[in-house]
């Protein structure tokens, strides 16, 4: 066996964490948001390999979906008639909501609501 299953491996991992924020002006109103942060992790090598294998399963599915979508797109483009057009829309884009009149806190660090096309 090449790998000691109990060997400790230190690394960093991107994780989603709930973070409580409070209004800087009043210091009273709390708000909970989700941030993506890099965290220090410790794994034994067996756990790390298992985690990696799970991530690879999800990645393989992701790549398969991309390939199938591209094939369908190419088929559509290659078989267009002269009087047809293709409209390509990115449905995964997030949009920020804005107010017609915003105070300064909106521009510096205050999270806006997001809208996603589903």
| Tally of CB atoms within 10 A around 29 | 9
Q: How, if at all, do strands 114-116 and 30-44 pair?
A: unpaired
Cα angle: 54, vertex 10, 50; to 5 degrees: 20
Structural domain includes residue 1 = no
Domain count, the chain: 1
Domain holding 85, by residue range, is: 8-24+31-105
Instruction: Name which of 41-55, 60-74, 79-93 the model is least confident about.
Output: 79-93
Mean pLDDT of 90-115: 58
Q: Please report the pLDDT score of residue 75 as a whole number.
A: 95
CA–CA dist 43, 49 (Å, integer): 9
Q: Look at residue 112 and tell me if it is in a domain.
A: no
CB 105 within 8 A of CB 25: yes
| Residue-wise pLDDT tens digits, 65-90 | 999 999 999 999 999 999 999 888 77
């Amino acid at each position: 066996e090449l790998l000691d299953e109990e060997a400790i491996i230190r690394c960093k991992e991107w994780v989603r964490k709930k973070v409580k924020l409070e209004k800087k002006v009043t210091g009273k109103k709390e708000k909970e948001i989700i941030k993506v942060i890099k965290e220090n992790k410790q794994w034994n090598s067996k756990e790390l390999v298992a985690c990696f294998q799970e991530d690879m399963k999800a990645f393989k599915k992701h790549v398969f979906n991309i390939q199938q979508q591209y094939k369908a797109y190419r088929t559509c483009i290659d078989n267009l008639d002269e009087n047809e057009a293709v409209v390509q829309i990115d449905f995964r884009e997030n949009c920020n909501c804005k107010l017609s009149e915003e105070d300064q806190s909106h521009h510096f660090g205050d999270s806006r609501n997001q809208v996603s096309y589903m």
